[in-house]
Amino acid sequence: MGGKTDVWQGTLALMVLRTLETMGSLHGYGLARRIEQTSGDLLELNYGTLYPALLKLEQEGYIRSKWGVSENNRRAKYYELTKAGHLQVKKAAEDWEQATAILARFLSPAEEA
């Protein structure tokens, strides 16, 4: 994969939610591009995997979708956060921060033995 990283299990949902939170409403392709850009092109997303993830979030009621028209006049399905989605971003972000903080303690060089 040459310097690019696969998406870790379970993190894609958080990325989607967070991206939708900052960008408002996006279609699937736009969302995928945006996630890659945000990662500084370090992530290489298999675009096909995005759609089941979106469907799962929609089934869980965190996002909703409706058909709209893109800037270059293509009909596309747009996704946006629901109220529950907004809450979930906050909660998931906190969980994630806590998890990384814990992991960071293990990975930082041992100061006192």
Partner 1 sequence: MRAMRAMWMRLRGLASGRRSDGEFDAEIAAHIALHTDDGVRAGLSEAKARRRALIRLGGVEQTRQAQRERRTLPWLETFLQDVRFGARVLVKSPGFTVTAALTLALGIGATTAIYSVVKAVLLAPLPYKDPGSLVAVWTANPARGDQPLPSTPGDFAVWKQRSGVFEDLAPSYDSEVTLTGQGSPQFLLGYAVSANFLRILGVAPQLGRLYTDQDDAAGGAKVALLSDHLWRTRFGADAGIVGRAITLDGNSYTVLGVMPRAFNYPANVEIWTPSAMAPSASEDFDNSYVRTLGRLRPGVSIVQAQRTLNALETQVAAAHAKTDSGNRVMLVPLREQLDGDIRKPLLILMGAVVFVLLIACANTAGLALARNAERQKEIAVRMALGATRPRLLRQFATESVLLAALGGAAGMALAAAGTHTLLGLFPNDVANLNIPQVTQIPIDRGVLLFAFAITMLTTFLFATVPVLNAMRTGTGSAMKQSVRGGTASRWSSRSRSEIVICEVSLSLILLTAAGLLVASFQRVVSAGLGFNPDRVLSLEVFLPRDRYPSEDGAKRRLFVAETLRRLNALPGVKSAAATNFLPLSGFWGTTGFLLRGQATPKNGEAPEADNRIITPEYLSTMEIPVLRGRGFTDADREGSLHVALINETMAKTYFKDKDPVGEALNLGSAEKPDWWQIAGVTGDVKAFGQDQPTHADIYRPFDQIPFPLIAFTIRTANDAGAMTRTAEQAMWNIDPVLPVMKAITMNLLTAQTLAVRRASSTLIASFAALALVLACVGIYGVMAYAVSRRTREIGVRMALGAKRADVLRMMLGAGFRLAAIGIAIGLAGALAASRLLTSMMFEMSAFNPAIFALAAAVLGTTAVLASYLPARRAASVDPMQALRTE
User: Rounded to whole angstroms, how far apart are CA atoms 99 and 75?
Assistant: 40
Pick the binder of partner 1 from 5, 22, 70, 100 (CB under 8 A). Answer: 70
Each residue 27-66 as x (binds partner 1 by CB under 8 A) or -, in order, gives: xxxx--x------------xxxx-xx--xx-xxxx-----
Size of the site for partner 1 (CB under 8 A): 23
Letter string b/e over residues 1-28, b meaning 16 or more CB atoms within 10 A of that residue's CB: eeeeeebeeeebbebbbbbbbeeebbbb
Enumerate binding residues for partner 1 (CB under 8 A): 27-30, 33, 46-49, 51-52, 55-56, 58-61, 70, 72, 74-77
